[in-house]
Structure 1
Amino acid sequence: MAPNFAEQPRRRVGILVFDGVKMLDFVGPAEVFVEANQTVPGYEVVLLSADGENVQTSIGARIEVSAAAADAGRFDTVVIPGSELPPTKFVTPELIAAVRHLSWNTRRLASICSGAFALADLGLFDGRRATTHWKFAADLARRYPSVVVEPDAIFVRDGNLYSSAGVAAGVDLALALVEEDYGADVARRVAQLLVVYMQRAGGQSQFSASLSGPAPRSPLVRKVVDLICADPAFPHTVQTLADHARVSVRHLTRLFRAELERSPAEYVAFIRFGVARDMLHAGHSVTEAAMVAGFGSSEALRRAFVARLGISPRKYQQRFRSTGSTAALESVAAAVS
């Protein structure tokens, strides 16, 4: 028998904002909860600040809040968004006190992006799995070694604690929370209304800057890099590259690790992957991309994509084509249907 959602009370969702808050971090999830109200009794979204004063967001907009965190009562869900500011700047004692109070007065607590630092500072993530935006993940792991950081996750649930990667990943997390509350059909309907994916394949690495890297500093390494980039499909080996530079394999490897943070072989694979990715962006087939980039076969390229991004090259291409293409629009429609 289908549940009678009409008889259920609206769930209160508190979102704690602060000066410098990343606007999309909290607006995205808020829109998911509000959109759900078209289908079910849904949610009451309440914006809070530590002291009850209005705040200024990352884009300069002034946001009016309803209450101070300590005066807002009990919530079903509390969301702590992040900021482009360093955590040392926005995770203030006042914010920590507000998060502590809210954590005592909610059924479940979620962080978006660098909001994870506030939960980690309180020890809430100790011994638990959590994630944050890929650019903050290493710092989170370094500063809070008791947290099991999953840097590639779009979002993570560990008990009643939730965390997500930055900005748009807050939408993914909010959809998952709606699904927990009202089921997959309701969450899918919200995704359709917002024209977003119900569930994205792959992890954060497909969006991160990890495919770009440090530039070579010495003329010798630049000479080898230029050779690789000029013909990535050539069967380069560490020996042929060392011969080209007229140095030993050991010396070339040491220079590559010092300047590019990769071995010569790893750098060749890095360049080939980038070439293949760019060809897929340009609309070439998987077979063409594999041939030009030097993978030898479409299967080899598929294995590389799955290993790096957790997604096949064909699915990657469907998700990252130009937004003006018919294929991209069809992909979105299929994903949310």
Structure 2
Amino acid sequence: MMGIAATSVFELANAHVGETVYDIHFLSEHGGQVKSSLGMSVETRALPRTPFDTLIVSGLLEPSPSGRKLVGYLRKALPVTRRIASVCTGAFILGEAGLLDGRRVTTHWFHARTLQLQVPQAKVEEDRIFIIDGSVWTSAGMSAGIDLALGMVEKDLGMDVSRSVAQKLVVYHRRAGGQTQHSALLEMDAKSDRIQTALDYARQNLRAALTVEELAEAAHLSPRQFSRAFRAETGQSPAKAVEHLRLEAARVMIEQSRHPIEVVAAETGFADRERMRRAFLRAFGQPPQVLRRNARVMTGP
């Protein structure tokens, strides 16, 4: 059901401008009622002969082979459709139709490596919210389809309309396409309140040195107790965890702001831009400037 939630973006865009900019149809191979993952049925019409401006392909909780008619329809639609998109595992269906060959694409992080194996001609980037490559748009899992749809509305009708729709949906405007699907805090998954408090303190004070002694004080533990408990709960040292938090914050600033690299390095606690550059190369395989350029290419000016 989350796969078709993105249609609300277009519905609210119509309401905002006061006219039917987007004429929304739900399609399936044979038409009629199609049962969703939750058991509710969605009324659909059969795949038509006339082309659409935009096609968005939803996915399944677990990818499985598609019908021959749907795959053939998508293959023929590419040259006559302004843009074709996928939400979550819908990328597997585009891959079956050959639409991902030679393109940079994304999907739900859990299925990304499987997609790469099934579509070796594509370049699957498993840590992106959505990617635009020519006329093909692909998004990450579940709610990322809303980000993709907001990106479409922004390109069609401008940022003001897209921002208004996001506010009505009570969602962030807007997660850039290049933003990570993961959170360092989520991945560390601290078990105790004391370690979580130290992590929260670190995230809110990235400009500080954040020594073990400082973090231990925030957790109300001795440095030795803190280091032992931190590694037991997160599987990494406090220093490595702090670097991950700095990297996550710096990457968001790099991709979503126009702050100079030196400012980003200072705001996120790296001693200088060179130290941040080395950390980016270790973590992402690319320097900050390349990540900024890629984010602008994927999301537009």
After superposition, the Cα gap between the structure-2 partners of 1:57 and 1:101, relative to the gap in structure 1 and judged at 3 Å, is farther
Aligned-residue offset at 1:276: 9.1
Within 5 A, what are the aligned runs for 1:34-113? 34-40=11-17, 41=19, 42-65=21-44, 67-71=45-49, 73-88=50-65, 91-113=66-88
Counterparts of 1:154 and 1:199 in 2: how far apart (Å)? 11
Counterparts of 2:241 and 2:195 in 1: how far apart (Å)? 10
2:87–2:139: 8 Å Cα contact kept in structure 1? yes
After superposition, the Cα gap between the structure-2 partners of 1:118 and 1:155, relative to the gap in structure 1 and judged at 3 Å, is same
After superposition, the Cα gap between the structure-2 partners of 1:48 and 1:172, relative to the gap in structure 1 and judged at 3 Å, is same
- The superposition leaves residues 54-99 of structure 1 with CA deviations (integer Å, 9 ceiling, x where unpaired) of 200000001111x21134x2211100011103334xx232331332
Aligned-residue offset at 1:36: 0.3
Aligned-residue offset at 1:272: 8.0
Q: TM-score, normalising length from structure 1? A: 0.59
Cα-Cα RMSD: 3.4
- The superposition leaves residues 264-302 of structure 1 with CA deviations (integer Å, 9 ceiling, x where unpaired) of xxxxxx6889999843787887458971465667xx755
Q: TM-score, normalising length from structure 2? A: 0.65
Is it true that 1:307 corresponds to 2:247 in the alignment? yes
Gaps of 5+ in 2: 217-225, 228-236, 254-266, 269-301
After superposition, the Cα gap between the structure-2 partners of 1:296 and 1:30, relative to the gap in structure 1 and judged at 3 Å, is closer
Counterparts of 1:82 and 1:173 in 2: how far apart (Å)? 15
Is it true that 1:121 corresponds to 2:86 in the alignment? no
**Matched AA of 2:2:** L
What corresponds to 2:8 in structure 1?
31
Counterparts of 1:279 and 1:56 in 2: how far apart (Å)? 44
- Identity among equivalent positions (%) equals 35
1:205 to 170, 173, 182: 182
Counterparts of 2:95 and 2:60 in 1: how far apart (Å)? 15
Aligned-residue offset at 1:308: 5.4
What corresponds to 2:260 in structure 1?
none
Gaps of 5+ in 1: 1-22, 212-269, 316-337
**Residue 132 of structure 1: SS of its match in structure 2?**
coil
**Matched AA of 1:114:** T
2:107–2:138: 8 Å Cα contact kept in structure 1? yes
Rg (Cα) greater in structure: 1
1:183 to 155, 158, 161: 158
What corresponds to 1:164 in structure 2?
139
Aligned-residue offset at 1:50: 0.8
After superposition, the Cα gap between the structure-2 partners of 1:311 and 1:301, relative to the gap in structure 1 and judged at 3 Å, is farther
**Matched AA of 2:11:** V
